[in-house]
Amino acid sequence: MARYFDVHPDNPQPRIISEVADTIRSGALAAYPTDSCYALGCRLGNRDGIDRIRSIRNLDDRHHFTLVCQNFAQLGQFVQVDNAVFRTVKAATPGSYTFILPATKEVPRQLLHPKKKTVGVRIPDHVVTQALLAELGEPLVSSTLLLPDEPEPMTQGWEIKDRLDHVVDAVVDSGDCGTEPTTVVDFSSGEIEILRRGAGDPSRFE
């Protein structure tokens, strides 16, 4: 049965955020809100959590997981960013964008695209997510909480608790969350390619 955490959307309670972080550190898979929609997340080294995300979402090995980072300094530990890409990505963060970039050796092989050796990264503009990332001190391995054969992600914490109680360990509820996933921008080939148009304005990359 998943633990349910009711978090204030504008002033996250430090005690509750600390409890969520401790739960994730102990190996939990959590459903949590972001500035685009709910996501599934676990610690970087949590192989079981990553396998469970694949199972819940019915993902193949070509799926790009996302490292949800607190800030640009943290993001830079996990992906290779040249000067031109740095300026473009920096101008768009924090925000509802996921960037596909070549991974550094800090990223476990399990998270990499098998052929491209790339990974997704993003810095969310969401008070609760930022509080959680600050408390954790490390990124969350994440994927949009979009169930197989469903057109849109779930938006309510109580609904997620009700439907996924047996497959996640924690649900963080800070009120209604959006239904539109991030805009995904691939920089890995040297050319900018928009892979998915979503919550972030894609025009700045066109």
Residue 76 sits in a domain of what CATH number? Answer: 3.90.870.10
pLDDT value at residue 61: 79
pLDDT of residue 26: 98
Q: φ, ψ for residue 45 (rounded to 5)?
A: -95, 10
Which pLDDT belongs to residue 60? 87
Q: Which amino acid is at 202?
A: P
Q: Is 53 left (phi over 0), alpha (psi -120 to 50) or beta?
A: alpha
Cα–Cα distance measured from residue 75 to residue 162, given in angstroms and rounded to the nearest whole number: 33
Residues 6+ apart with CB under 8 A from 3: 23, 28, 169, 170, 171
pLDDT at 172: 98
Q: What is the pLDDT of residue 144?
A: 93
Give φ, ψ of 121 to 5 degrees: -135, 150
Q: Mean pLDDT for each consecutive 10-residue tract of the chain (206 residues)?
A: 97 98 98 96 95 95 91 94 92 96 92 88 97 98 94 90 97 92 93 94 92
- ∠ CA 138-133-54, nearest 5°, is 70
Interatomic CA distance for residues 121 and 100, integer angstroms: 7
Residue 125: per-residue pLDDT: 97
Q: How many domains does the chain have?
A: 1
Domain ranges, residue 20: 3-205
